[in-house]
Amino acid sequence: MCIVLFSKPLTFDLCDSSLNILHCFWLNVAFGEEKPRPSMLRHLTSKIKATGPITVAEYMREALTNPVTGYYVRNDMLGPDGDFITSPEISQIFGELLGVWTLSEWMAAGRPKRLQLVELGPGKGSLAGDVLRVFSQLRSVVGGASVSLHLVEVSPVLSRLQAQNLTGSRNREADGEDQLVYRRGETAAGVPVSWYRRLEDVPSGFSIFLAHEFFDALPIHTFQRTQRGWREVMVDVDPEKTERLRFVLAPSPTPASTTLVQPDERRGHVEVCAEGGVVVQQLARRIVEDGGAALIADYGHDGTKTDTFRGFKGHRLHDVLSAPGSADLTADVDFSFLRRMAGGGVACVGPVTQRTFLKNMGIDARLQVLLRSCSDASAREQLLAGYDLLTGRSQMGERFHFFGLLHRSRLAEPTRPGGLKLEGKRSAAPLPVAGFTELSFS
């Protein structure tokens, strides 16, 4: 990976086989891609020229969520015609199994009277729709519980799409932009749906949080070990070609490099998602105070990878510094960092691979049920192809991981009763955590 120490060249040989370097290039290499969107590039170059190089985190935040030209704000990027496709769009089974997981944790918590389903970054609303369909099919299990859906979404384009898919015409936008709930609606089954821009605006109460491909899009800080200690990787304007951007190293420690890198860190290049750490702390606090659980599904690792920052456009890898605002930017989630940030107030489970999680949830049995009830050859073929894509070792099965946050009481060993009359009797063990525990079907 070639990085410049501001205007003085300083080269680090990071492109070896042990590192998954996806952005070890200068932006002035010809890639034959379309010209960058002028407004976003002009905004970034003006900002850098005025204040100096910006962090990778600030670059990601601007490119993805700038209210005028951000990628997530302007685009419908999901599906075959977009830049990437997600598991809920591949097969209904994925969302159904997460719906079963949600009910499993709700039941393990004693079936609270109120159940808030909260999804962070809900895409097109496919996952939430599949989960609510499971609730409807298992109405006898849900009983008289009050169910509500809460969606945390920053994209106006996607929020309108979610509203159409989940509520049809039964939704309306808030009168003012300063409203915490900027859209309200109701599903055909009568489940109230609310939209928020921030997690902290979701009302308190027992909640099951789902975050599918949410954390990988949060801004990351990147750091490089040097002979003089850790230095932060920044984004600067190329002095020879001012319409292009390049990576540079900060010449001295930054506040991020002195606070976010762990003292015992052994890797030579590190990515830290401080914003993701804040979100996990919020989830942990809410689970401790109100009960509930969180399920995170994403590209990720357990503190082993180094450089995973990459871009996607048209379902292909894209130069992260080229045409900012026109492509998705992502980085693998460091689950060891999330575990550390969650603290000791909650119990963490995983990460396990998506293949393991879905098989533990019974995806094979569910597939057989659907195949038996399906006589159309093309539909059967689609079911099998979706299954392979979700669980295949060379597909999403090994690339995606599941990670959970639970209330500590959920995994606590019960107190063994004492006394002469009760001596010798054993209390029931905690219920297994679906997905993270291998289930046996008998």
**Cβ atoms of 94 and 102 closer than 8 Å:** no
Confidence of residue 400 (pLDDT cuts 50, 70, 90): very high
Q: Residue 78 forms beta bridges with which residues?
A: 84
Amino acid at 272: V
Q: Which carries the bigger pLDDT value, residue 245 or residue 8?
A: 245
Task: Specify the range with the lowest mean pLDDT, choosing from 84-98, 243-257, 329-343.
Answer: 84-98
| pLDDT confidence of residue 8 | 37
Q: How confident is the model at residue 31 (pLDDT cuts 50, 70, 90)?
A: very low
Examine the pLDDT at 30 and tell me if it is beyond 50.
no
Give, rounded to a whole angstrom, the gap between the first and last alpha carbons of the chain. Answer: 53
227 token code pair: 């002979």
Q: CB of 63 within 8 A of CB of 40?
A: yes
Q: Which tokens is 434 given? A: 């679906």
How distant is the alpha carbon of residue 94 from its chain centre? 15
Report field, pTM of the whole predicted structure over 0.75: yes
Q: Check if the beta carbon of residue 183 is closer than 8 Å to that of residue 203.
A: no
Quote the CA–CA distance of 3 and 91 in Å, as a whole number: 42
Give the pLDDT of residue 418: 54
- Asked if pLDDT for residue 18 goes beyond 80, the answer is no
What tens digit of pLDDT does each residue of 153-166 get?
Answer: 988 889 999 999 99
Residues 271, 222 contacting (CB under 8 angstroms):
yes
User: Where do the domains of the chain lie?
Assistant: 2-76+219-262, 87-218+275-315+328-410
User: Average pLDDT of 25-44?
Assistant: 53
State the pLDDT confidence band at 399, using cuts at 50, 70 and 90: very high
Quote the pLDDT of residue 4.
Answer: 52
Architecture of the domain whose range is 87-218+275-315+328-410: 3-Layer(aba) Sandwich (3.40)
Query: Can you say whether the dihedral through the CA atoms of 111, 355, 283, 135 is positive or negative?
Result: negative
Given a contact cutoff of 8 angstroms between Cβ atoms, the answer to whether 99 and 119 are in contact is: no
Arithmetic mean of pLDDT over the chain: 85
Largest CA distance in the chain: 85
Q: Is the pLDDT of residue 347 over 90?
A: yes
Pairing between β-strand 183-186 and β-strand 171-173 as defined by DSSP bridges: antiparallel
Indicate the residue type of 68: V
Q: How confident is the model at residue 112 (pLDDT cuts 50, 70, 90)?
A: very high
Tell me if 230 sits within 8 A of 184, measured CB to CB: no
What pLDDT score was predicted for residue 427? 47
Q: What pLDDT does residue 175 have?
A: 87
The one-letter amino acid code at 253 reads P
